[in-house]
Homo-oligomer: A and B are copies of this chain.
Amino acid sequence: MTVARSVNPRTGAEFGPDFPDADTSQVAAAVAAAVEVAEVMAGLAPATIADGLLAAADALDAGSDALAALADGETALGLPRLIGEVARTTGQLRSFAVMLRTGEHLDVVATRLSAGAPARDLRRVNVPVGVVAVFAASNFPFAFSVAGGDTASALAAGCPVIVKAHYGHPQTSRRVAEILDRALPAAGLPQRAVQVLHGGADTGQALVTHPDVAAVGFTGSTAGGRAISDLAARRRVPIPVYAEQGSLNPVVVAPSALADVAAEARMLAGSVSLGGGQFCTKPGLIFVPATLSDRFVAELVDCLARTSPVHLLTEKIREQFTRAVDAATAVPGVQVWRGAAPASGFGAAPAVVSADTGTFIGAPGLREELFGPAAVVISVRDVADLRAALATVGGNLTGTVHGDPADEWVLTAVWLLTHRAGRLVYAGVPTGVAVDPAMHHGGPYPASSSARHTSVGTAAIYRFLRPVAYQDFPDELLPDALRGVGSG
């Protein structure tokens, strides 16, 4: 790909201007500008950065309807969802502004050491890591794109950002960049605090391997995140990559949760089909008791057959989804239902794949993410069977448990899923990620490249800060946050 254009997923028709790929020299120019911005931002008060985040939020909110309409043309995600996503995005920006005013993110610790220690005092504070590269997601044109969570948390940390826009929504990305370009400097941030590049794998590679890039945020597939992590690990100076990748989001439905099989299937079908099944938290793997699994599958199929027609975000996502369902269908011992696909554009057929645990355990292909409106349902005989099946499941963003707290299935599932997921959901559905300080949106590999870090919620800022300890320093040489602290 050397030039991208917008494509309407509902029709497959291209529209709008050309977006040429940024080449190596354009990447180098962006990084050089960002290095200068980093020097300026490292000296800014957190309150100034907070003003910038608030100004960006206000400007995006003011353009919400137009932004959502533009994004709907490029993503087919629908206006209500997209208007809500703009609000989530501006809510994120504002939550970091609130955090910055508390100073909490600086994690200041100060100690007067006792006599005999190798120093008199130590004072520690967090400083920004430097230039951050952000790889935007296909499935969230606002909340995980140009002004999304990675950008908001890096800016809040005091780091300039270079975003590689996703080719699935280039016009939306450019429009958001224009809004930031006006709002941030007006609030006192330097010009080019956020820069946006368009391009494919070559552009991404130039960015990740540039010596002056200090950290990477990524939202996308496991294969994409791994490729970027591998590039970063092979640099002369390796850098951290915070990649939010693929996830199966297992759901364990205990016998005690199936008093009403139809209601259970309806709840999960709603979560499976939300946003065309293109959520990183989509429940893609559902364990149900064997005695009721046929009925559950029939109800799930019935619900999915009645959902609105789905157009996936891009041609590539549609192809990958179709290929993944084909691959699951080819596994001996599985049953597959496939619904009807809209004939136009990137229409996709919903699907339900079902199998028993023996088949599941023997077929690694059933543990691959199906990014689209599909789920794998596994019929489970008993708790030992559940344990054996869950033992084959790797890291996930979420794990969900339905059933009475005293149900042995529930106790077993909670224990095993705690070791395999970053967020556990009880009784509800995993789609719908609250932006909150208590949120953890991450999880053991392959769900994320760093299980210790979240990409949603204010704790996401810590990915882009590092501690510096000052030993026996006079106040006048210290960063503002450490002056007069603990030196009494």
Contact = CB atoms under 8 A, between A and B. Distances in A.
Contacts of A178: none
Contacts of A439: 122, 124, 469
Contacts of A233: 229-230, 233, 238
A438 B118 contact: no
Interface stretch (A64-72, A106-114, A197-205): A106-114
Interface stretch (A4-12, A139-147, A424-432): A424-432
The 5 closest A-B pairs by CB, nearest first: A118-B432, A233-B233, A440-B469, A122-B438, A109-B438
B122 A421 contact: no
A123 B438 contact: yes
Contacts of A440: 124, 467-469
A454 interface: yes
B434 A122 contact: yes
A118 B468 contact: no
Most B CB atoms within 10 A — which of A130, A465, A472?
A472
A362 interface: no
Interface string A89-124: 000000000000000000001110100011100111
Contact of A468 (B230, B424, B476): B424
Interface string A438-457: 11101011100111101000
A422 B469 CA distance: 6
Interface residues of A, number: 71
11 contacts: A42-B419, A109-B437, A111-B437, A119-B432, A129-B451, A229-B233, A405-B477, A411-B477, A421-B468, A422-B467, A426-B477
A19 interface: no
B229 A471 contact: no
Interface in A212-248: 229-230, 233, 237-238, 240
Nearest to A406: B476
Interface in A368-406: 394-395, 401, 405-406
A248 to B, nearest CB: 15
B454 A424 contact: no
Contacts of A432: 118-119
A67 to B, nearest CB: 21
B445 A237 contact: yes
A192 interface: no
A473 B427 CA distance: 8
A470 B426 contact: yes
A421 B444 CA distance: 30
A268 interface: no
Interface of A: 42, 109-111, 113, 117-119, 122-124, 127, 129-130, 229-230, 233, 237-238, 240, 394-395, 401, 405-406, 410-411, 414, 418-419, 421-428, 431-434, 436-440, 442, 444-446, 449-452, 454, 459, 462, 465-474, 476-477, 486
A422 B474 CA distance: 18
B468 A438 contact: no
A477 B113 CA distance: 42
A426 B474 contact: yes
Contacts of A451: 129, 466
A280 to B, nearest CB: 14
A146 to B, nearest CB: 23
Contacts of A406: 476
A328 to B, nearest CB: 21
Given A237-B446, A428-B119, A440-B124, A423 B471 contact: yes
A91 to B, nearest CB: 11
Contact of A414 (B449, B459, B477): B477
Contacts of A237: 394-395, 444-446
Contacts of A442: 467
A270 B422 CA distance: 49
B410 A472 contact: no
Given A424-B470, A426-B472, 14 more contacts: A109-B437, A117-B436, A118-B432, A118-B434, A122-B436, A233-B233, A237-B445, A401-B477, A405-B474, A418-B468, A423-B468, A424-B471, A427-B472, A452-B466
Residue among A410, A434, A450, A472 having the largest count of chain B Cβ atoms under 10 Å: A434
Contacts of A426: 470-474, 477
B127 A471 contact: no
Given A119-B428, A237-B445, A469 B410 contact: no
A341 B127 CA distance: 43
Nearest to A122: B438
A127 B472 contact: no
